[in-house]
Amino acid sequence: MTQPSDIPSKSPKPDGRVARGEITRARVLDAAERCFAATGFDAVSIRQIAAESGVTLGVVGFHGGSKEELFRTVLARRTETLNRLRRESLAQLRANESVTLEDLIDAYITPYLDIASRGDPQWRAYAQLIARLVSDDRYYPEMKDRYDPVALEYLAAIAELYPKADPQLMATALVLTVASMISIVASNLRIDGLSGKPAPRTPLGYRKVLVDFCAGGFRRAIE
């Protein structure tokens, strides 16, 4: 079930063979990703990560460095892929003649819903890890450099549709859009609780209502 990861190995040998420890390293990072996503940085111990990845304690330090370094490595690992997906969605839209606000929001949101809904549990873990961090200003300086550039590209594209809109209102609307998007990934529980029926199983099941909500809110907020 685990599809091949699209994360480049750190140091491939010139002849193409990966270094010996690369498999172990991936196992450690994957386990760390799952643990950090499940309970957050502080609640996870190196020993838990070691047990989860099936290696001994020292190996985690050998491949991951300090706990802080390990955490930042996990954070950084998949951002480029996610950014690329979002940029591709945007480029694809630009090929069309008429682009709506709904198209743009859908293009921004769907890659994230997509990876959170994939079969690959690692991508799901990463999506949940991000959801855990956005509510914490401690990690913003780090996230800023990784995610804001693409967000600004989308803001620029939206600004073409609404040239007279206040930039600050648009930035706020985008932040609210992201918060809505992430809340869907972070918790499926509450929607179940508030409506009688069981909610969709995967984040992708919320794609339509999410785009509706965010686009409707966005348009209303900036006018």
CA–CA separation, 131 and 184 (whole Å): 9
Smallest gap from residue 124 Cβ to DNA (A): 23
Interface mask (CB under 8 A) for a copy of itself, residues 10-39, using x and -? -----------------------------x
CB of 94 to a copy of itself, least distance (A): 21
Question: For residues 45 and 51, what is the distance between their CA atoms, to the nearest angstrom?
Answer: 10
* Distance of closest approach, residue 24 Cβ to a copy of itself, in angstroms: 27
Q: Which stretch binds DNA (CB under 7 A): 13-21, 103-111, 145-153, 181-189?
A: 13-21
Tokens of 79: 């951002």
Please state, in angstroms and rounded to a whole number, the distance separating the CA atoms of residues 181 and 214. Answer: 9
Shortest distance, position 64 Cβ to DNA, whole Å? 8
Is residue 222 within 8 Å of 162, Cβ to Cβ?
A: yes
Looking at the Cβ atoms of 64 and 111, the one nearer to DNA is 64
CB of 110 to a copy of itself, least distance (A): 16
13 contacts which partner out of a copy of itself, DNA, none, CB within 5 to 8 A by kind? Answer: DNA
Among 22-30, 76-84, 120-128, 137-145, which window interacts with DNA (CB under 7 A)? 22-30
Contact predicate 75/140, CB 8 Å: no
Write the binding mask 61 to 90 for DNA: x where contact by CB under 7 A, - elsewhere. xxx--xxx----------------------
Long-range Cβ pairs for the range 17-21 (8 Å, 24+):
21/62, 21/63
From the list 10-18, 20-28, 115-123, 186-194, the region that binds a copy of itself by CB under 8 A is 186-194
- Out of 99, 120, 121, 213, which residue is the one contacting a copy of itself (CB under 8 A)? 213
Which amino acid, one-letter code, is at 10? K
Q: Is 34 in the site for DNA (CB under 7 A)?
A: no
Closest listed residue to residue 36, CA positions, set 49, 54, 55: 49
Write out the two tokens for 140. 């913003």
Q: What is the DSSP string of 138-166?
A: GGHHHHHHHHHHHHHHHHHHHHHH-TTS-
- Tokens representing 137 are 């200003």
